[in-house]
Amino acid sequence: MKNRLTAAVALPIAVMLSACSPDKPPVEGPRPVRIAEVRYDAAREANRYAGTVQSRYEVEQAFRVGGKVVQRKVDVGQLVHEGDIIAVLDDADYRLAEDAARQQWQSAVTQARQAESDRKRLANLKTDGSVSVSDDERATSGAQTAQANEEAQARQLELASNRLKYTVLRASRSGVVTAVRLEVGQVVPEGQPVVTIADPTAAEIVVDVPEDQLATFRQARFKATLASAPDERFEVALRELSPEAAAQTRTYRARLKPAAGHALPLGATATLEADRVVSDAAVAVLPASALTQSSGQPAMWVVKHAGKDTVGTVQLVPVKVYGYRNDDVLVSGPAPGEKVVTAGVQKMAPGLKVALPAAALADANNTQQVAR
C-alpha cells in the first residue's frame, strides 16, 4: 500500500520536471552592436575662440589742458576727418594768462633795448677813458641778462598761446567715433581720454589665447565667421601675438587681419577657427570607446560581413594610436570603409556573430554604388 502511494506521487513530479527541463539550451541570436565606418584623412586639430572686431588704429583723444566743456561737436558713430573740432573748453582763464605773458614779454623787450643802449653808450665813452673797465663790463653783463630775459618771456608767451589753442580739441586722424566720455558743463582734467576715434578701414579680429594652446596657435591656419553672418566663412592671417600674458586672465592677446578686400564692422562678434595638422600620416577619427587591447597592444573589433547581410562576425585588428581629441581617438590599421564596434568591446570574442544596424548597411550599399 505504501509503495503504491509513493509511485502515485512520484509520477506527476517526474512529469513536471521533464516539462521544465528542455532537451537543448536556447540558441543565442546575433548580438546588436554599434559601429563606425573607418575613413582616413590627414590628422587635424581645430579650436574655436570667441573674439571681437576692433580697429588696428584706435586713438583716444584728450585735452592737453583742463577746464570746463562748453561745446561737444561729435557723437558715437559719427565720421570725422583730421582737424575737425571735437569739443571746446572755456578759454577765459587761458586768454588772461596769454595777455599777462604778452605784457611781461613787452616789458622784457623794453628792458633789453635799454640795456643794449646803455652798453653801446658806455662802449663809446670807454675809448677816451671816461668810464672804467668795470663799468663797461657791468653794462655788457646787464645787456646780456636783459636779452636772455626777453627770450625767456617770449617762450612763456608761446606756451600761454599754445595752452589757449589746446582748449579746442581737434581730431588727430580721420575715422569713426567709437566712444564719447564728456558732456557740456563737465570739468575734465588734463590728459583724460574723452573721445575714441577708430579707423574703420583697418578692422581686425582680436581674441585671447589660453596659455596651454599658445604653441599650437602659432602653427594653425585660421578662418572666421561673424555672428551676423554665421554661414559666411573667410580666411584671416595672424598679424600680432602678444609676447606677454595678461595679468588678470593669463591669456595672450592675438590680432588677425582678414584677406584683402574683406571689410569687417567694428564691434562685431567673431568666431575664430584655428585648424592645425597634427600628423602627416592619414588617420581615422573614431570614438575612443572602440579602443581595446590585444596582448597589451591597442586593437579594435572589426565587423566582417558579406554584401547586404545583416549579420556579421567580429575580428580583432591591431591599430596604431596617434593621439586623442576629446572623446575620439586618432588611429590607423583597419582598411578604409570597414566597420568597427564602438560599444561593448569588452564582451566581444573572435568569430562572435553580431547584428548590424540597418542604417549602417544602407550607407555602405550607397557607398558601393557610388564607387561603381
CATH number at residue 106: 1.10.287
Residue 293 sits in the same domain as residue 361: yes
* End residue of a domain, out of 110, 141, 166: 166
Range of the domain at 304: 31-43+280-371
Specify the number of domains making up the chain: 2
In a domain, 299, yes or no: yes
Domain of residue 308, CATH code: 2.40.420.20
Confidence (pLDDT) at 263 = 85
Q: By C-alpha distance, which of 192, 203, 154, 186 is closest to 53?
A: 203
Q: Please state, in angstroms and rounded to a whole number, the distance separating the CA atoms of residues 46 and 297.
A: 28
Q: Please state, in angstroms and rounded to a whole number, the distance separating the CA atoms of residues 163 and 275.
A: 54
In a domain, 186, yes or no: no
- Cβ(333)–Cβ(300) below 8 Å: yes
Q: Please state, in angstroms and rounded to a whole number, the distance separating the CA atoms of residues 213 and 64.
A: 43
- Cβ(366)–Cβ(359) below 8 Å: no
Q: Please state, in angstroms and rounded to a whole number, the distance separating the CA atoms of residues 282 and 275.
A: 16
Confidence (pLDDT) at 318 = 92
Residue 290 sits in the same domain as residue 360: yes
Q: pLDDT under 70 in the chain at which residues?
A: 1-29, 42-43, 129, 278-280, 306-309, 358-372
In a domain, 136, yes or no: yes
* End residue of a domain, out of 132, 150, 166: 166
Confidence (pLDDT) at 69 = 96
Q: In which residue are the cell numbers 595752452 written?
A: 163
| Beta strands 193-198; 175-180: pairing state | antiparallel
In a domain, 231, yes or no: no
* End residue of a domain, out of 166, 184, 201: 166
Contacts of 247 (CB under 8 A, 6+ apart): none
Q: Please state, in angstroms and rounded to a whole number, the distance separating the CA atoms of residues 275 and 257.
A: 16
Confidence (pLDDT) at 4 = 52
Check the CA dihedral 18-20-22-25 and report its sign: negative
* DSSP-assigned letters across all residues of 20-32: HS-SSPPPP-PEE
Confidence (pLDDT) at 358 = 64
In a domain, 78, yes or no: no
The vertex-334 CA angle with 328 and 339, nearest 5°, equals: 70
